Structure 1
């Protein structure tokens, strides 16, 4: 429970996403909602209006402080945005791991794939459907980071453990991260600590960032950006480890081959 000194303070809390809505009491009772933050919570708060009105003996208006756009009036697209991001990242990571040879070539391919995918997906969601708002390039950057985070980790695991690393992507991102991403409902509604964990994984961080950038410019997003960047770094570290592992194995093989040739020349 968070309190505010007045209505303006309550509106500020809603706009910064510190709360999902507010009940204003006093001379002019009112319920503040934010369907852009969570249509589920907005509906629940709106249902309190007639009950509160009966208790107070006067109608209680419901004000949507941050409404959804006309292109996505019920938040359906934002609610399922994590699935195409996860599938897209997995397709990129698995495809690059199977087709591209060489760790650094794979890393470069992930970068190209993520940038192209970010521009394309943001163009569809914002230009065609109108589900995203604000600066297009920032939305594209968020999507590109999400794709890169997922794809780079898959490529990194493949670099370290070989083809079996491909299976890690579906398990980690599709079966674990996506269900706890909380794209359609507040993460606080999930059992602890899974809701909080989901916000630190690529699907959850990307979904929250897209929502905040589109509708809540006053919200703090530094942790979400760091989460996406952190996963990209994890992928790069794994790829680097795999690179030196392969280099070391190749060097040992070359030394053994040279030793065998030297021994054969003296026999």
Structure 2
């Protein structure tokens, strides 16, 4: 059995030092096909506000030799088991697209099974609420069909998607992530989160409607907020300064509220 330290090294990446003291820890969950490095720029933006960690799913980059997870619950189980060791510091989870659902399920597990963890809040972006059905069937398409879906979202340079070596390298992880997303089933009877939830969407995101994002409010008893920023599905990259400012504001709000409750 691997130690907590080795599991942390396997799953988490830190790119910038955070503030000294007992400030919040922000854990970032990547989108489908994404890796921990997707959050490197944002980590720099937020390093004055939180110690930023990025989750590295199996099957990509330095974990390319591992089989990708094809069930969202498996990712959430692993993340919760690891983050359950964080005690004494406010913990904020942030996920984009697929990562929003993994972060949500991780938050549920932390509140259910790890009473020592101070979960201060959940941040989600580019994602419909868990209760919105997902049946795209992307993971069942041929390779060209999967690549076309990535191209439509606009998060990867077209020249990379045209490179056979790049396609061969990324396709297993992308297909596995879409299978995890498309086989996920929301448990309507699950208790609402106690922590607050804040959602961000892009004004031109064809994958995420305002109505679908607003349903995140039904997942929490701790307060909800929704912001719309310019951009498409990857507005988090095209309008990163605005995103960083919004996240920093929520992190401060979550942390202050959590400390008042102590």
TM-score range, shorter chain: under 0.3
Q: What's the TM-score once normalised by structure 1's chain length?
A: 0.23
More helix by share: 1
More strand by share: 2
